[in-house]
Amino acid sequence: MRLNGEISHKEDEEDEEEKQSGVLQPERLVVGYALTSKKKKSFLQPKLEILARNKGISFVAIDQNRPLSDQGPFDVVLHKLSGMEWCKIIEDYRQKHPEVTILDPPDAIKHLHNRQSMLQDVADLNLSDCNGKVRVPRQMVITKDSLSIPDQVFEAGLKLPLVAKPLVVDGSAKSHELFLAYDRFSLSELEPPMLLQEFVNHGGVLFKIYIIGETIKVVRRFSLPNVSKRELAKVVSVFRFPRVSSAAASADDADLDPGIAGEVVDPVSVCAPQNIYLQPSCSIR
Ligand SMILES: O=P(O)(O)O[C@H]1[C@H](O)[C@@H](OP(=O)(O)O)[C@H](OP(=O)(O)O)[C@@H](OP(=O)(O)O)[C@H]1O
Ligand SMILES: Nc1ncnc2c1ncn2[C@@H]1O[C@H](COP(=O)(O)OP(=O)(O)O)[C@@H](O)[C@H]1O
């Protein structure tokens, strides 16, 4: 397999070594990546690159200013960029290069770019009775007119407190900016388009499930604490909240109340006696 760019100079030497030793090295895999600088920083860390290299995987940056077909050859194209223009580039490339694995084809993940449609698939699974209850929070989309939000919420019958989330999820910091509203009138301070979702008390702990092929990894993260009726009656405001359940908020080693700590019964069914907050997601983390 040939490599275009960063580490190509090494390849000839390695091929030569391989020939001389007579030992067949495992096939190498070239991953072309197109990521924002934020994502590159959080995902493509030296530790991952070294681990990948040891397994024969090399990452090569895709130059977005050059035609994609002129680059590579790649075995895999890994991208997390959005926008119509980029999606078209990837789609065209996919048609021309069916031998290359695209992670992920834009069409396959488009429903994940919208917080309303991403939960629809979970609702459609209809898991209301499967060794526990899996459900999605009640929610509504607000497309315009901040001032009318209190009335829209009242008419829809959503219960407070409410979590307000940007409708579009595009990997930007802005798209992760969430708010918690204790009273409906404060909601008019927020900017549509957005999704309003009932806050689900879940014991301040959240489970994230990462799946790659057959491999399933479950982690525990600290999350927003429960909101009591007393607090709800007292507080009148809307608060912006930071990324509470990020990797830095690991609760894997925390000594939690067994009532909320959850018990991993098997990798596919993660059960906690309280509400499970389900976060469907498809991402390069
Ligand atoms: O680290 P974990 O707990 O897995 O959470 C991840 C990170 O926060 C990612 O951001 P970053 O790469 O900046 O650390 C984020 O990707 P984006 O910021 O690209 O959206 C993921 O969003 P989703 O892809 O929406 O799940 C989110 O689920
Ligand atoms: N409906 C909800 N009820 C309770 N907590 C929530 C709810 N929605 C989000 N959260 C909390 O907010 C965090 C981020 O929510 P999420 O929708 O996953 O946004 P992002 O995609 O930016 O990570 C979750 O990890 C959880 O702690």
The pLDDT tens digits of the residues spanning 180-193 come to 999 999 999 999 99
User: Is the confidence at residue 202, as pLDDT, over 70?
Assistant: yes
Is the Cβ atom of 206 under 6 angstroms away from ligand 2? yes
Please choose, from the candidates 149, 21, 5, 146, the residue with its C-alpha nearest in 3D space to the C-alpha of residue 70: 5
Place of tokens 């007393």: 230
List the residue whose alpha carbon is closest to atom 15 of ligand 1. Answer: 285
Q: What is the pLDDT of residue 209?
A: 92
The pLDDT of residue 268: 39
Distance (angstroms) between ligand 2 centre and the Cα of 44 equals: 25
Distances (CA, A) of 183 to 3, 48, 143, 154, 187: 57, 44, 20, 11, 7
Query: Which residue, by CA, sits nearest to atom 19 of ligand 1?
Result: 171
CA of 73 to the centre of ligand 2 (A): 39
pLDDT tier at 173 (50, 70, 90 boundaries)?
confident
Note the Cα 73 to chain centre separation in Å. 28
- Of the ligands numbered here, which is closest to the C-alpha atom of 171? 1
Tokens representing residue 148 in the block: 């009318």
How far does the centroid of ligand 1 lie from the alpha carbon of residue 91, in Å? Answer: 24
pLDDT attached to residue 52:
96
Banded model confidence at residue 13, pLDDT cuts 50, 70, 90: low
Average pLDDT, the chain: 84
- Which ligand 1 atom is the nearest neighbour of the CA of 175? 20
* Token pair for 194: 């957005």
pLDDT in tens, 69-103: 999 899 999 999 988 999 999 999 999 999 999 99
Q: Give the tokens for residue 57.
A: 């995987």
Length of the chain: 285
Residue from 118, 224, 240 to probe ligand 2 pocket by mutation (most atoms less than 8 Å from CB): 224
Please write the tens of the pLDDT for every residue from 18-53: 555 556 566 799 999 999 999 999 999 999 999 999
**Nearest CA, atom 18, ligand 2:** 279
Average pLDDT for residues 186-206, to the nearest whole number?
Answer: 95
User: Is residue 137 in contact with ligand 2, taking CB distance under 6 Å?
Assistant: yes
Residue 284 has pLDDT above 80, yes or no: no
pLDDT at residue 285, as a whole number: 43
Residue nearest to atom 10 of ligand 1 (CA): 285
Contact 169 CB / ligand 1 (< 6 Å): yes
Give the residue-averaged pLDDT of 258-281. 48
Residue 123 has pLDDT above 90, yes or no: no
Confidence of residue 252 (pLDDT cuts 50, 70, 90): confident
Q: Categorize the per-residue pLDDT at 134 as very low, low, confident or very high, splitting at 50, 70 and 90.
A: confident
250 touches ligand 1 (CB under 6 Å): no
Tokens 């900017």, residue located? 191
In the chain, % of residues over pLDDT 70 = 81
Answer with the residue of higher pLDDT: 111 or 271.
111
283 Cα–ligand 1 center, Å: 7
- CA 63 to CA 91: how far, in whole Å? 17
CA–centroid distance, residue 243 to ligand 2 (Å): 8
| Ligand 2 geometric centre to CA of 49 (Å) | 30
Quote the ligand 2 centre to 95 CA distance (angstroms): 36
Q: Whose CA is nearest to atom 21 of ligand 2?
A: 176
Residue 17 has a pLDDT of 57
Beta strand extents in 157-226 (DSSP E only): 162-166, 178-181, 194-198, 205-212, 215-222
Element counts in the chain: helices (H) and strands (E):
9, 13
How far apart, in Å, do the first and last CA atoms of the chain sit?
27
Going by pLDDT thresholds of 50, 70 and 90, the confidence category of residue 265 is very low
